[in-house]
């Protein structure tokens, strides 16, 4: 892709992210995106069919980057889950603006669902190793842990990331491994 196309797509993505801070995806028009990006409508339609396709491109790009970043680490044992969780929080802190927007109420549920899959894949996949737990129960536990973790992340981002990535990783790690008795 040539530089002009890359630039145009970047400006359109930035414009949509800016608009999503104040409006829901369903109430954002192509006209608003184009005005914010200072690009005409025909240029927009040369790249995307609508605002939803543009949002999906932003989400996919973020998810791909997150997957590549986390994939660089080979943490698969329970003991290493804390390190992977800290790497996740570091990444989210670095990309806090886009994370906050994509996890906000103005987008669709796709990003949240995909985030749950990634969190399971990189953080919780090997965390629960009790062979006495049947598959159905494991799935419920996993959904509970991943959903809670996503909402902890969302809250952390919304409240200005007062704790460091390491501290947040420790909070999640202690809660998941020790339950409420591990909260200090």
Structure tokens at 38: 């200072």
Sign of CA dihedral 133, 139, 141, 146: positive
Whether pLDDT at 26 is above 70: yes
Whether pLDDT at 101 is above 70: yes
Mean pLDDT for 16-27 is: 94
Tell the residue number behind the tokens 């680490």, with chain if given. Answer: 73
Domain ranges of the chain: 3-48, 56-182
Structure tokens at 143: 């959904």
Residue 10 · residue 31 · CB < 8 Å: no
Q: What is the pLDDT of residue 103?
A: 85
Q: If you average pLDDT over every residue of the chain, what do you get?
A: 84
CATH value of 56-182 in 3.40.120, 1.10.357, 1.20.1690, 1.10.3470:
1.10.357
Could you please state the CATH topology (level 3) that the domain comprising 3-48 is classified under: Arc Repressor Mutant, subunit A (1.10.10)
Whether pLDDT at 184 is above 90: no
pTM above 0.85, yes or no: no
**Intra-chain end-to-end CA distance of the chain, in Å:** 52
Q: What is the Cα–Cα distance from 130 to 142, expressed in whole angstroms?
A: 13
């Amino acid at each position: 892709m040539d530089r002009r196309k890359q630039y145009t797509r970047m400006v359109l993505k930035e414009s949509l992210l800016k608009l999503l801070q104040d409006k829901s995806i369903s109430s954002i028009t192509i006209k608003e995106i184009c005005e914010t990006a200072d690009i005409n409508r025909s240029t927009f339609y040369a790249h995307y069919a609508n605002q939803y396709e543009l949002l999906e491109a932003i989400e996919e790009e973020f998810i791909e980057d997150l997957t590549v970043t986390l994939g660089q680490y080979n943490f698969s044992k329970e003991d290493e889950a804390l390190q992977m969780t800290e790497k996740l929080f570091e990444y989210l802190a670095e990309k806090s603006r886009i994370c906050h927007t994509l996890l906000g109420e103005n987008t669709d549920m796709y990003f949240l669902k995909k985030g749950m899959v990634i969190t399971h894949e990189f953080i919780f996949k090997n965390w629960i190793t009790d062979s006495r737990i049947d598959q159905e129960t494991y799935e419920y536990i996993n959904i509970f842990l991943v959903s809670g973790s996503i909402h902890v992340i969302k809250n952390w981002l919304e409240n200005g990331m007062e704790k460091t990535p390491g501290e947040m990783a420790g909070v999640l790690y202690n809660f998941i491994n020790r339950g409420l008795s591990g909260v200090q």
